[in-house]
A and B are shown apart, each in its own frame.
Chain A
């Protein structure tokens, strides 16, 4: 589809962006006295489905479904959006492999809305019919399955699939002619590599493990990052400063939640220029990511309210909004 083919969809998205939560609306949600009043606040703002049960998780699930339903209504070819579901698709594969290898598939662990349904994914893994998967999943699926079945190494199984997911996103970004998909892939790789380096550093993983887990990307020198991770968090911070990721280094120094916030905020910064793009698929992809970010932030607030966290602790974890 050409950029002009998205004119209708982009204009509709512009109208929908008005109802995205701004930082001030989230402050109002945060100011709600308890979990129940926060849920009522969401319902008053049109979230959820009046015909369904009105607990927080159902409301958030409904909102996610609404987003994808709207996109499907507007666009006939969903191919440009595939890259957004790769991580969920690989997560479902991971859940299916672990479920099949342990004889305990938990339907609650699967994401809905992927190109392969959870039931189909479980069937493929059970029958070892990996050729039915998309090409970029086949080899990793077989390798992860064998690793878990014979080696009983759940962590290695995770690493194989996480790396395959990142490689799939990277390849999709490289192949795509759409700017936002390239930017999204680049940002995701940077964020994932930094997260992985920090995690490996904290759990004292070996260089070999890191080599299996991390994926080459343009913005980061992965070799240097791995060496820094071996030396400690201070070295990671130094490297990030040197590589132009000062904010990430500062967030890492501040706290884990501040670092997680930085990761999500960076993605929002990547998509923010799409607010001024009147054509192309970019604003649609940006809207989906903005909605995911909005839902995640609302989930953080609801979870905080449910567990009686103080406002300051919740606010520290709140993400920047797209609007």
Chain B
């Protein structure tokens, strides 16, 4: 395979894996949110915010995918010459956000569902409840940073 294929695979992996994780996480949290709102619609805004937390990994993956596509010229319409070594480097650079995004979004989804349980019983503890799933975000942000630094730092 030529370098451009590996680079595109990297962009796809970043978007697909983190998107899958976010879809699962937001889905699980959404089920919990629906359960609470079916009994107490007044908690809609609070549970919606918590439900959205696992969605960020998908955005991070999209961001890295955009950076990669931009770097190899796919977005501008002029595809750059990418050697096999560079293509592989770009592919590996995209993996952190893809893999960590997938895993962290799944775990953030289950943590968010548990946090929604706190809001259901003690809505005044919303701030604390939000912190638990937010902690999982740390590792997605770290992976995002690594991917961005790596993708932008690879010489063409």
Contact = CB atoms under 8 A, between A and B. Distances in A.
Interface of A: 4, 7-18, 74, 278-279
A15 B110 contact: no
A253 to B, nearest CB: 37
Interface string B45-70: 00000000000000000000000000
Contacts of A12: 35-36, 38-39
B13 interface: no
B123 to A, nearest CB: 9
B120 A7 contact: no
A17 B120 CA distance: 9
A114 B7 CA distance: 62
A8 B121 contact: no
Given A15-B120, A17-B121, A7 B40 contact: no
A278 B113 contact: yes
Top 10 nearest A-B pairs (CB, nearest first) are A11-B35, A12-B35, A278-B114, A15-B39, A11-B32, A14-B120, A8-B31, A7-B31, A15-B120, A8-B35
B100 interface: no
A18 B120 contact: yes
Contact of B113 (A7, A17, A74): A7
Interface residues on B, range: 10 to 19
Contacts, number: 59
A11 B31 contact: yes
B12 interface: no
8 contacts: A7-B28, A7-B35, A7-B113, A8-B31, A8-B35, A10-B117, A11-B35, A18-B121
B86 interface: no
Nearest to A283: B117
B121 A11 contact: no
A7 B38 CA distance: 13
B33 interface: yes
B116 interface: yes
B44 to A, nearest CB: 12
B40 A11 contact: no
Nearest to B119: A14
Main secondary structure of the interface of B (DSSP, over half): helix
Main secondary structure of the interface of A (DSSP, over half): helix
B25 to A, nearest CB: 12
Contacts of B114: 278-279
Contacts of A8: 31-32, 34-35
B33 A11 contact: yes
Given A4-B28, A7-B31, A18-B121, A279 B110 contact: yes
Contacts of A10: 32, 35, 117
A9 B35 contact: yes
A11 B110 contact: no
Given A7-B113, A278-B113, A279-B113, A15 B31 contact: no
Nearest to B37: A15
A14 B129 CA distance: 14
Contacts of A4: 28, 110
A323 to B, nearest CB: 9
Nearest to B27: A7
A308 to B, nearest CB: 37
Contact of A7 (B32, B39, B43, B121): B32
Contacts of A16: 39
Contacts of A14: 35-36, 116-117, 120-121
Given A11-B34, A12-B35, 13 more contacts: A10-B32, A10-B117, A11-B35, A14-B116, A15-B35, A15-B121, A16-B39, A17-B120, A18-B40, A18-B121, A278-B32, A279-B113, A279-B114
B28 A11 contact: no
Nearest to A17: B121
Contacts of A13: 35
A9 to B, nearest CB: 6
A13 B34 CA distance: 12
A8 B113 CA distance: 9
A17 B36 CA distance: 11
Contacts of B113: 7, 11, 278-279
A15 B40 contact: yes
Contacts of B34: 8, 11
